[in-house]
């Protein structure tokens, strides 16, 4: 009873979908696009942690 399977399955599905979308974007739009998106996400998380 310590594992919440519903949340775990939702997280697994989200990570799988994110990986699939990210790999397709990397092929279609190139490395620069992925680098920009990743940088924006990291900066947003840093700001959220600081504030």
Running along the chain, 51 residues long, what does each successive block of 10 average in pLDDT?
A: 92 96 87 89 97 92
pLDDT given for residue 19 in this prediction: 93
pLDDT given for residue 41 in this prediction: 95
pLDDT given for residue 26 in this prediction: 85
pLDDT given for residue 1 in this prediction: 77
What CA–CA distance (Å, rounded) separates 17 from 25?
Answer: 12
How many other CB atoms are found less than 10 A from the CB of residue 42? 10
Number of domains in the chain: 1
The burial of 4, by beta-carbon neighbours within 10 Å (0-12 exposed, 13-18 middle, 19 or more buried), is given as exposed
Nearest to 37 by CA among 51, 23, 16: 23
Domain housing 12: 5-50
pLDDT given for residue 25 in this prediction: 85
């Amino acid at each position: 009873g310590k594992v919440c399977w519903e949340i775990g399955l939702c997280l697994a599905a989200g990570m799988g979908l994110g990986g699939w979308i990210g790999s397709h974007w990397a092929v279609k739009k190139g490395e620069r696009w992925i680098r920009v998106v990743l940088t924006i996400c990291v900066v947003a998380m840093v700001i959220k942690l600081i504030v």
